[in-house]
DNA sequence: CCGTATCCCGCTTGATACTG
DNA sequence: CAGTATCAAGCGGGATACGG
């Protein structure tokens, strides 16, 4: 943490934030957690059939590490794991909603 | 155009729309066109020093082909080319703004 | 000034198999 | 059910040089 922040640090923050959303599947995953929805691992596999297990696990781990998604493990057999948005992740909902609306305008 | 659209085409549309925004630099480029701003090629090179000419040109071409950015060439010497958002591209501004606000919340 | 062309590397992604 | 491990491939992306 020896690096000092310049007055332009806000702009840098945006680019850093964007990098957290990069990745072939992250936004798609987030759309399925939109609006407080809770998903299990196997749910995602059904919702996003094209994704491989590897990528699903990897992207979820990254989203978790970045504080966007929270992972809740129930210590039972068979295992049960739930994913939901963190508070900060919830703050993305307006953006997700705006992207949704934008996509719809394409058809017109 | 032989493919018929299923009732689920809306959901597919979102994923397709997301793919248009994929790429290391696209959203950063769009941020610099935010709110009706007009940029020249050389402007982008100053605004995004880390980007290579190849990637800048490539991402601009894709954004143009996808109908998000418009390219205006002034037939003069030396050449002058201006980039701005299309109408549909402008419709992305609320989303960009929401992402901006989201990024700012991280610091709290 | 505004790009292309070419070469090349490495990370992301995919396929498959295996496990607590 | 919810993941790892491993290997391989392809394309995104960087460096450099050249062109209208």
Query: Choosing among A88, A95, A100, A107, which should be mutated to test the B contact, i.e. which has the most B CBs within 10 A?
Result: A95
Which positions in strand C are less than 7 Å from the protein's CB atoms?
1-6, 12-17, 20
Q: Which of the two residues, B46 and A7, has the higher pLDDT score?
A: B46
Higher-pLDDT residue of A56, B6: A56
Whether omega before B108 lies within 30 degrees of 0, making that bond cis, reads no
Q: Taking a C-beta distance cutoff of 8 angstroms, is the pair B88, B67 a contact?
A: yes
Q: What are B68-101's pLDDT values in tens digits?
A: 999 999 999 999 999 999 999 999 999 999 999 9
Half-sphere CA count of A50, side-chain side, radius 13 A: 6
pTM: 0.88
**What spatial distance separates the first Cα and last Cα of chain A, rounded to whole Å?**
49
pLDDT tens per residue across span A75-103: 999 999 999 999 999 999 999 999 999 99
Query: Strand D closer than 7 Å to the CB of B78?
Result: yes
Q: Which residue's CA is nearest to the C1' of nucleotide C15?
A: A52
Instruction: Using alpha carbons, select from A55, A63, A71 the residue that is nearest to residue A89.
Output: A63
Q: pLDDT grade, residue B7 (50/70/90)?
A: very low
Cross-strand bridge partners of residue A29 = none
The beta-carbon neighbor of B88 closest among A31, A100, A105 is A105
Best probe of the A interface among B98, B104, B107, by most A CBs < 10 A, is B98
The sheet with strand A39-40 has its strands ordered as A39-40, A80-85, A69-74
Looking at beta carbons, which residues of chain B come within 8 Å of A101? 91, 94
């Amino acid at each position: 943490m020896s690096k000092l922040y310049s007055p332009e640090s806000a702009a840098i923050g945006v680019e850093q934030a964007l990098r957290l959303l990069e990745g072939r599947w992250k936004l798609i995953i987030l759309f399925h957690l939109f609006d407080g929805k809770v998903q299990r691992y196997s749910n995602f596999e059904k919702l996003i059939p094209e994704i491989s297990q590897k990528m699903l696990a990897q992207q979820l781990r990254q989203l978790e590490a970045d504080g966007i998604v929270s992972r809740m493990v129930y210590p039972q057999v068979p295992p049960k794991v739930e994913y939901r948005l963190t508070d900060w992740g919830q703050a993305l909902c307006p953006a997700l909603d705006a992207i949704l609306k934008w996509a719809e305008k394409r058809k017109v």
